[in-house]
Structures are given as C-alpha cells and as structure tokens.
Amino acid sequence: MTDANRIEPATQERCHHPGSIPQDRVERAILSALFLLLMVCTCNLPVLAQLPPGEERADNDVSSDLGMSLELRKKFRELDVSLMLTIIELSRFNIALREEANVRWVWRSVLYPAAQEAATACTLSNAIIDLKERAEGLHNLDLISSGARQQGLAAAVTGSCIGAASSAAELTQNGLVCWLKSKRGLSPARSLAFVKEKRARLDSTLALRRSLIDELPDGKVKELRKLESLILMRTRNQLLREFTLWSADSRARMWRENTFYTLDVAQQILSAASSALSSRSINNSVYSGPSAVCGLVSKSISTANPIIRTVAGNFVRKRQIYRLSGQLAERKVARAEKLLEPWGDEEAILDAAARHGGTDRQIEQLEILTSGSLKLDRALDSERLQLEKLQRVATQQAISGPAIGMLSLTQQILNTVASYGYSDNPDVSNKIKFAGRIPQIAGLGYSLVNTPTTQVLNFMKNRKLRREGRHPSQELKRRLHHLAEIETTVRAWTGAP
C-alpha cells in the first residue's frame, strides 16, 4: 500500500459520514435502553404478585378466568347477556302491571267523593227536616207539615240517585280499565302466560350456565361463577314473587271495589224506593210498611258492605297468591345477604373477582347482580309491609264502617217497628220515628265530615311523598330509568370478553 493510500486513524475518524454515530455511543444507548426496559417490567409486575401469603396468584392459577378458553368465555358472555336482558324485560313487565292495573283516572279522586258528599248532604237534609217536623208533633200531630216532609223526602230521593249514579260510574270505569288492560296484554291470563314464558327462558338458560360451570376446575373462579348463578336464581325468584304479589293485589283491589260499588248501587236504589214510598205514605198509610222494609234492607246492605268487600278482597288475594305460587314454582334460594355473607361485603366480592382474573365485563356484571339483588330484597320487604298496612286499614274500615252504618240501621229498625207495631197509634209511632232520627243524624253528620277530611289527608300525604321523592310512581320511574341504564351496559357486553 502506498503512502498516498495510507490514512491515519485520527484522520479516518474525522472522515466518517457526517450523519453517522460513533460505535461506543451506540453501545451505551443500547445498554441504557435495556436497563430502562428492565425497570419498567419490574414496576409493572401483576398486582397479584403482591398478594399476602396463602393467596394464589391469578397468572399461575389454572382456575383463573385468564386460563379459560376464549370459546368458553364467549359462551358465558352470551348466556349472561341473555339472562340479564330477560330479567330486565320481566322487571319492566312487573312495573307496567303495577302502573296500568287498577289505574285510577285523575277525575275519579274528585268526582266520586264529591258525589258521595252531595248524596250524604241530601239524606242528612231529609233527616233534619223529618226530625224537626216530628219534634213539633210530639204533643200535637196536626203541627206536622206534610209539605215540608215531602220536600225532605224529595231531597233524599235525589241524594240516593246521585249516590247510585256515582257508584255505577265507578263500576263502568273499572270495566274500561279491565278492557284496556287486556288490550295491552296485562289481563290476568295473558300476563301469567308472559311471565311463564320468561320463567321458562330463564330456567333453561340457567341450566346451560350450570353445565358450563361444571366444566370449570375447582377454585375461586368456579365458586364465583356459582355465586353469580345463585344470585341470578334469587333475582328470578324475586321477580316472580313480585309479580305474584302485585297481581294478587290488583285482583283483590278490583274485586273489593266492584263488590263495594255493586252493593252501594243496590242499597242506594232501595233507599230511593224507600223515600219515594214514604212520600206516598204521607197521604196513604198503606205504603208506610213497604217503605220501612225497603229502608231496612237498604241500610242492612250499607252496614254489611264494608265487611263483605273486605272478605271478598282478602279471599281473592289469598286464592290468587296460592294459584300463582303453584304455577310459578319458586326454587328455594337464600336471601341475597345470606348468599354474600361468606364472601364479605360487595366490595370484597368484587376484589376477589379482580384478583382471580375476572374481566371488566364479569366484574361489572357481578356488581350489578349483587347490588340489584340486595335492593330488590329490600323493595319486596317494603312492598310486603305496605300491602300488610293496607290490609290492616281495610280491616279497620270493615270495623268502623259498620259501626257508622249501624246508626242509620237503628233508625230503619225503629221505623219498621213503628210502621208495623204501632200503625193504629200515630202518636206512639211518631215518637218512635223521632227517636230513630237522632242516631241517624249523628252517623250522617260524621260521614259528611269524614269524607272531605280523608281526602285532604290523602292529598297532603301524597304531596309530602312527592316532595321527598318517595311517592310510589316516582320510585317506579326511577326503577325504569335504572333498568334502562343497566340494559345499555349489558348490550355493550356483546363486544366484551
């Protein structure tokens, strides 16, 4: 090699391409990168590596969801989505049944009490006029004004017609409600068929889910999957029980109301006939006896009506619960609190699922199931207490109603005694009928005050509940909104692992 071709090392280093990097710098950069990579890997070790002694690591646990095949995880996801959507559908149906069944149109809460108040006022007017005239004739029968008595009896006939018309209107409205309910698929037969269909779907899907769980190896994941199935079964039972209670309450309420309105129409018609015959008896005493009999039967029906309607409602409720419980067989599953007790609280269960490789979807599902089942248990307890309270109120009315009716019935008994026992002694007959009007006026006066008082108290109670957000209609709306949120979440699971 010639001197011209020989280049010194220093000169060769200076003659490198301007864009090249010295070799020693490259080596140092590679070492630095490897060191940083090692640090990153060390800092991002699985959280399970920090578990306390005795806990298994999820990445080494063959029962972890991470060790489950994609095909098996896909099957679980499909079954869980189907179960959750069916539960949501059944829950919405229960709410629709509660909202639509036995719905009371707004004007009913005003017109019917007003009509009953007018009818009572007319009857009370006749009782006061008759009492006044008979008081004036206690010592001289000639002082009794036939014209005044006829005017009072005309008011009584008017009141009876108003009362009968208002009860007939309530019966008609209940009939329309039943017709509309059947058109919307909420009749007893169609609603039961719908619930049976959903129950069969839930049972078949749960059976498939249990078969998949049996394929899993023993471990925490299998226990968590079993817990999910138990909570799903508990939720199934809760919804079926809710349907049974609400359906039975709906049927009992309809029978209770229709029994009351039917008997009220009958007694009002008899009361109008009694007043009309009594008006004729002023000039012809032959009509006095039939008038007293019609009045006696009328007030007997009125006195027994609260007892009969309560017995009818309770009988229908118990029969409906017995019938539905037999057709919608509930599988015995412990309450949600008992199911979760071995795991601790909800947060502990979710932590256990996360430690054992549960995906975000599975953890989210477990959270929805645990919290939803606990809330539904509490809601059913509250509904059961509310129904028991309503039954106690109905029982109290069955006691207080006849007590008030007995006051008017006393008047009719004395009127019958006077008409048949002392028809030949007008003076004694007048005194007996005078005595009978006193308890009747007391009973009518109490009814005249009690009706508006009850309506005002109910209005104030409902207004307070609405202000506090605790009105039943508001709670049902919140529940529907929550179901919509859950449905959105569940439908998003179709693309999740």
pLDDT at 1: 41
User: Taking 80 as the threshold, does the pLDDT of residue 236 lie above it?
Assistant: yes
Between the CA atoms of 445, 447, 451 and 452, what dihedral angle is there, to the nearest 10 degrees?
10
| Position 84 in a domain | yes
Tell me the average pLDDT of the chain: 80
| Position 276 in a domain | no
d(CA 98, CA 101): 6
Maximal CA-CA distance, the chain:
168
Mean pLDDT, residues 48-52 taken together: 38
User: Per-residue pLDDT tens for 319-377?
Assistant: 999 999 888 877 777 777 777 777 776 676 777 667 766 666 767 777 777 777 777 77
| Position 53 in a domain | no
Domain count, the chain: 1
* Closest alpha carbon to 170 in 227, 121, 116: 116
d(CA 453, CA 461): 12
pLDDT at 404: 81
pLDDT at 280: 93
| Position 223 in a domain | yes
What does 408-470 look like in DSSP terms, one character per residue?
A: HHHHHHHHHHHHHHSTT-HHHHHHHHHHHHHHHHHHHHHHHHHHHHHHHHHHHHHHHHHHHT-
pLDDT at 55: 39
| Position 456 in a domain | yes
| Position 228 in a domain | yes
| Position 193 in a domain | yes
Helix (H) or strand (E) holding 163: helix 146-183
Contact 149, 130 (CB under 8 A): yes
Tokens of 142: 């000639």
| Position 386 in a domain | yes
pLDDT at 32: 52
Domain that holds residue 350: 69-105+185-266+281-423+437-495
Query: Which range among 310-314, 372-376, 450-454 shows the weakest confidence by mean pLDDT?
Result: 372-376
At 256 the three-state DSSP class reads: helix
